[in-house]
Structure formats: structure tokens, C-alpha cells
Amino acid sequence: AVRLACTNLTLLTSSSVPFSTCISSSVRQRDPSFRRIWDLSLLVAVGPFDRGATKRMAHSVARANLGLTEPTKLDLPKISFAAKEIDLLEWKGDILAVGVTEKDVAKDENSKFKNSLLQKLDSKLGGLLSDASAEEEFTGKAGQSTILRLSGFGAKRVGLFGIGSSSSSLTYRNLGEAVASAAKSSQGSHVAIFVPLSDDSSAESKPSAAYSVAIGAGLGLFDDVRFKSESKQVVLKSVDILGAGNGPEIEKKLKHAGDVISGIIFAKELVNAPANVLTPAVLAAEATRIASENSDVLSAKILDVEQCKELKMGSYLGVAVASANPPHFIHLSYKPPTGDVKAKLALVGKGLTFDSGGYNIKTGPGCSIELMKIDMGGSAAVLGAAKALAQVKPSGVEVHFIVAACENMISGTGMRPGDIVTASNGKTIEVNNTDAEGRLTLADALVYACNQGVEKIVDLATLTGACVVALGPSIAGIYSPSDELAGEVLGAAEASGEKLWRLPLEESYWETMKSSVADMVNTGGRPGGSITAALFLKQFVNENVEWLHVDMAGPVW
């Protein structure tokens, strides 16, 4: 639930663009390229990316713990990032990783590199690089690498890492991840990554490239071993970024990268935690902990069942009522430490810590009920963004982070198909499918967000399988009636290397959502299921508030 948690607050921290999200990052473990959760593009130089005494999520809340499982308390590895201007031949350490494009590794008639930098490095190594690249058919394609173990040279290992035919924030991030993976395999503690930039690269692009490489390297080291009895320790201590220049701007970028990495890893851990460990109460406790650790800019309000009843959140409470674990409505508020607030924004995340489907229980092949711990991926993205934002401390913006946390279970008191629930804006909903529960919780969360006086809302949710069918496992769908907000989010996605696709809010499809006994049903037919889900959410957003919905069901895992 966090690949998408990928929310990119990159532009949110910019004085020129008040807000933007870009779901970033995935929490998926099977492919490191999906392991990002969102991005806040800011940052640098040499700061350990766990900044402060932040502990990895330990879930210390007192509770009856099914299975007696407790995650091991672990500190994030302290890795320093630094941008340096140094001759590659002079660098000393464990791995010298040289990023190359397909053009960079082109050879002449003597099978020697045409690229002057590679010529120089290959000459120093007695032609070993050119020979190895030929033997291993290394052509610089993205994902390719060839690594030499050396003696008598400044670096113990020298490797070429392909980034393909073009460069982007995604290719640079993947470069960082590939090098981090090599460092883990070889137990390297000091690594240098040369960033391949074109001769006409702008001054602005160099810090951004270094930032993306640092994000990739930091996330590439992450392994969630909290629930394993044995695990290897990460030994990587420092990453030098070469070829991108140095100075205050790039150092700031690298510092921000550390803040973002800590937020992304926090979100990944939330998604990975099993439902018997991460209950709604524990999710609320984690949110409260974030606020207490950053009390200069963050405050927390947790609403219990009675307080939610007072706010008439019948849609949310209807989902939560069947579970023995009570719901917790989470509201974190970020306010800048100094200066005036020029924009008020909200991030709303779906927070189903487990989804059985309710009476429309998930059954049969492909139902993935065993993965339904990830149904809180939207909330993980939102809380990860809160953690990162609290460390970055952008000025001029107030941000509300809202999660209606609960479980969707089955009991004699549970919501039944055919029941009618009433949301906090007074609209009634005929529940024709209890497994379309996420939108019911989001309905009241969106109403609550609008009541905070915000100008823009972005919600993130693992909402529909229909979106996965439409866009596949690695692309999130976005919906918005606002071209301006959609443009901001898509721009942030491009800057951070995330994959989003804008889908239509086809109003004519709303006909399938009409009920004969209530204002609406909670799900239409199979055709256009992701679109009708977005149209449902739209009913709970004030017309004067810009709103964007991210359906991250595919990239979350």
C-alpha cells in the first residue's frame, strides 16, 4: 500500500506552486523498483537519513496481540550522502559505480570505449572494463550491470550500471537502487555513484539527478526484517555522488532526500505490518507518535466512536461496527513554524487495516484476502508524507492529514447488503455490496476534510480492482474535475518518477449509481468500476474545493 503511497509533495514545498501530490512509491517487496511511496522533493549533504532519534515502528501500544507477534525494534541504518567533485581514479572505497547510457558504452573499431571518461578509467584498469563489457554483452541498457573485483586500485570494485538510452528521475532512482543492491550483496560500506549527465544539462537538473540517485540508494537498502528471527545488518555507511557538482543547492537536496526516505520507509513498514499487529488503534498511536516527535509543527486529534457519532459519520461507522477492534479517526495538522499561511490543503488516506469484504466476503481464486492488510496503503502514504513534511518544514502552507481507520469484518452486528447508511453531509447510501467499503469510510473523511476550510484535497486509496484491470499493477489512476490540480499532480509524478494516468469522470455513468430507496448505491455495475467509484467520492466534496482522487490499488503492493 505504498507504492502509491507515493504521494509526491514535491511541489507542495515550493513557494511558486502551493500543492501537488504524486503517489510514489510502492511498498512492494518483490520488485525494488516499486518500493517508493511518495516523494517530497527537497534536500542533502551528508545527513543520516533517519534524522534524529527516530525508531522504526515498534507498535508499543498495549493490546491483546493475536499470535503473540511483536515486531523487533530496529534503528534505521545511518547513511550519509555527499556530493563531491573528485576524479574517479582518485576515489577510494568499496564500490565505484559508474552510471552509463547506451551511447556512453559505444566502442570504436578496436573495441575500446569512445566515451572519454570510460576510456580513461578503462586504460587505468588495463582494458578490463571493455573486455568484461564485451564478454558479458553489456550494452548500457536499463537494469544491466557488470562489476569487477580489483586489487591495487583505489576502489575494491568498479562497476558499470546501465540506465538505458535516456535519463529521467526514474532512471536515476533506479540507478541508486541497483547500486544499493550491489552494495548489500558485497557488504560494501563506502560507495560512490557517478551520475551520467548530458553535456547540456541545466544547473537545475544536476541537484535533481543527485536527489533521485540518493532516494534510490536509500530505499534500495531497505528490507523489512522486523518479523524475522534472524537478519543481516546493513553495513553501508556512506554514498558519495559524483559528476553532479557540489555546493549549497545540491547539499540541500540531499538533506531533503534523507527526510523523504525516512517517511517512505515508515509508510512501507505500515503497509507490511500484518493486521494482527497493525490495528486501527495502533495506526492511530503511530500517527500520534509522529505528531509528538514533531510537536513544533504537527498536532494530533484522534476521534473515538462517540465523537464520530456526534459528527454523524454513519457511513464510516457502518463499516467499522462489525469489528472487535474499534475505529479511530485520525487527524494530523501541519502548520509552518513561521510566517503566514497562504494555502490550506488536505491529504486523505483510506485506512482499512484489514478488509474481509464483510458479508460480501472475499472468496475464490484471486480474491487476495490474505493481502488485505494492504488496504490501508492510502493512509500509509498520507502518514509517511506527514512524517517527511514535519522534518522539511515548508513555509506558507497548512496541511491536514486525515484517515478514517477501521476494519471491515463480519459479525451479527455488522452492516448487511441492503442496509442504508447516512453520511455526515446528510446523504443516504444503500449498501448493495459490503466489499465496496473503502468509499464509505472516505465519504465521511472527505466531508470532514472540507470542514477544515481547505482549498484542495487529494485522497489516496486502494479503491478498486477495476483500476488494476484498466492500468495494470504499476500505474495509478487519477480523477479530478480540476485541470489545474491534475496538472500539478501529473507534473509532480513526472518529477519524481511515478506513473499516473488521468482517467475521465464520465458523469453519465452516475446513472448506474442511483438507488430507488436512497440517494445512491455504493457500487454500480462492473463496467467502469473505477470511474463510478470516483464519482461516488465526488458526492462528498464541496463544489468550492479542488479535489483529486488517486486509485492506487495496482502499485500499492
The residues carrying an active-site annotation are 362, 439
Strands 238-242 and 190-194, bridge-based pairing = parallel
The SS3 assignment for 254 reads helix
**Which residue in the block uniquely carries the three cell numbers 509543527?**
297
DSSP state of 55: B
Contact status, residue 441 vs residue 316, Cβ threshold 8 Å: yes
422 neighbors 428 (Cβ within 8 angstroms): yes
Measured CA to CA, the distance from residue 382 to residue 405 in angstroms comes to 12
Beta carbons of 476 and 552 less than 8 angstroms apart? yes
Nearest to 54 by CA among 263, 356, 235: 263
Using alpha carbons only, give the angle 502, 508, 511 rounded to the nearest 5 degrees.
125
Burial of 340 (0-12, 13-18, 19+ CB in 10 A): exposed
Q: How far apart are CA 24 and CA 34, in angstroms?
A: 9
Phi, psi of 128, rounded to the nearest 5 degrees: -65, -35
Q: Tell whether the torsion through CA atoms of 215, 220, 225 and 231 is positive or negative.
A: negative
β-bridge pairing 7-8 and 38-39: parallel
DSSP structure string for 496-555: HT--EEE----GGGGGGG--SSSSEES---STTHHHHHHHHHHTTS-TTSEEEEEE-TTT
Strand partners, 458: 347, 548
Strands 546-551, 476-479: pairing kind: antiparallel
The strand pairing partners of 238, in sequence order, are: 80, 190
